[in-house]
Chains A and B, each alone.
Chain A
Amino acid sequence: MTDIWTLLTILVLACFVGYFVVWGVTPALHSPLMSVSNAISGIIIIGALITAGVAEMNTSKIFGLIAVFLASVNIFGGFAVSHRMLLMFKKKKSPEEKK
């Protein structure tokens, strides 16, 4: 098990990475940024998978399964709507006309 100080170190460094990467995002794509970050915050699903994966059916497993469902709505929906948005951002002389 990783000790709390290592985890805190990782947290602080990750905040810096996030800070710089997010400032690099062009303002035109702030909506896709929200939906992509929304989708990847669904990473909590791996916590849900572990609690939902136990063999016997108990309260903990049921809660875990509900969380798997909710998080996967978040993940699939977030990536799908980002993809839909990003398809619409086109360069000037793009010949394909998509609705």
Chain B
Amino acid sequence: MNSAFLSVSYLLSGVLFILAIRGLASPQTARRGNILGMLGMAVAVTATLMLPEIKDIFWILLMLLGGGLVGIFSALKVRMTALPQMVAAFNGLGGLAAVFISAAEIAAGSPAHLEASLGMLIGAVAFSGSLIAFAKLQGIMPPKAIVFAGQQGINLFFVLAIIGVTAAYTINGDIELFEILVCLSIVLGLLLILPIGGADMPVVISVLNAYSGWAAVGIGFSLNNVLMIIVGAIVGASGAILSYIMTKAMNRSLLSVMLGGFGLEKTEDRQQNSRDRKVAKAGNPQDAAFIMENANKVIIVPGYGMAVAQAQHVLKEMADDLRKDGVEVKYAIHPVAGRMPGHMNVLLAEANVPYEDVYELEEINREFASADVAYVIGANDVTNPLAKTDPNSPIYGMPVLEVEKARTVFFVKRSLGTGYSGVENPLFFADNTIMLYGDAKKVTEEIVSALEQK
């Protein structure tokens, strides 16, 4: 086994990974892309196992088998609404793996102190950060932002301490300093994610994803491994770009998300402002069914509330019934609908909604003017016109779906409550809005039975 063979295998594997991501450019090529990714991994692992340094393979195979079974089992079992927490968990495990690899290198007496420390600390932050993100998404912890006085000062202290200890460890290589560094990094990861609220989770997941990539880069430097650097950089870029897209869709900066505390302060004073003066019109599902079956074009705007109510399947039924009546039905998705980037697309795909019917914000916004009905189900903030008109609103500047341009807007909601941002939606009181109060699934079921009765 010579080094040329290894280099060629790693090159092949790197190319396969790039093609894997490239495949995700369209749903037709995506499955092939994923398989190319698996192939790339298989090539890299096999070539590595054939190295002369690998003298004992029994335990490795055992661990591969065990880890593989755990991974596949949880991947097949997870519900699609719980996808974000599983991605968070996997990210965390990847981060922890990076910590153990660095520790193993140090224990084996590697001289690459700085590189190993970098890989370790990014991995540790990814691990403990993902732990908090998982707990918040899974509902083990309240999803609210946890803020306390002096938080940013403490974080800054930890960052400085980590830089100091890393420098000291790089110079004298004392193993105890490395252990301190592990603890500091894990605590920093916890502190960084605690102040981030539920609505910002899509950003957090993306950032943690980026960390797992940069951790691989760090380990790649410490092991002098080109493939890890290439793959880590691509994953890091992917996480960074997704974070950017998510923050842009919320009109926030990454810094303000990471500093946290969104949706806490401004809630109370705003709620009183207009609540009592205006009256929202309420309708019943039968009226809604009547109006929709006589429409030419209906645009459905699903939000995370739809997923929580598990209404995606009955929603698809409603769309199918309307199509039978000759109504044109489209779905409009805001980038931050759901709890991770692209989450809503997966949930609709799970309900067998063809992806050609699902449109992104920029594609669909000008179509609302020609739509007879906008059916907003479980979404709120992403339709709020205050984002365009009220510079004082915390969501000002956020791109929104312009549902108010449709002739009739149905809002399926439990109450007139505000969304995550704590901002009241003036659309509830607009002349062309009809509120359908109730559980998203029940209301839609009643519409379906009304549609099917005649």
Binding site for B on A (CB under 8 A): 1-2, 4, 7, 10-11, 14-15, 17-19, 21-55, 58-61, 63-92, 94, 97
Contacts and interface: CB of A to CB of B under 8 A. Distances in A.
Interface stretch (B28-36, B139-147, B376-384, B412-420): B28-36
Contacts of B86: 77, 81
Contacts of B49: 49, 53
Contact of B34 (A22, A34, A36, A92): A36
Contact of B107 (A49, A63, A68): A63
A37 B234 contact: yes
Contacts, number: 358
Given A47-B220, A47-B225, A54-B56, 16 more contacts: A2-B226, A7-B221, A17-B18, A17-B230, A18-B21, A29-B24, A32-B346, A34-B209, A39-B37, A40-B234, A43-B44, A46-B48, A53-B54, A65-B60, A79-B37, A80-B76
Contact of B235 (A41, A58, A91): A41
A4 B45 CA distance: 24
Interface in B217-253: 217, 219-221, 223-239, 241-242, 245
A84 B228 contact: no
10 contacts: A30-B340, A32-B30, A41-B216, A43-B227, A50-B51, A55-B56, A66-B97, A82-B37, A86-B31, A88-B346
B5 interface: no
A44 B229 contact: no
B76 A78 contact: no
Interface in B410-430: none
A18 B75 contact: no
B157 interface: no
B94 A41 contact: yes
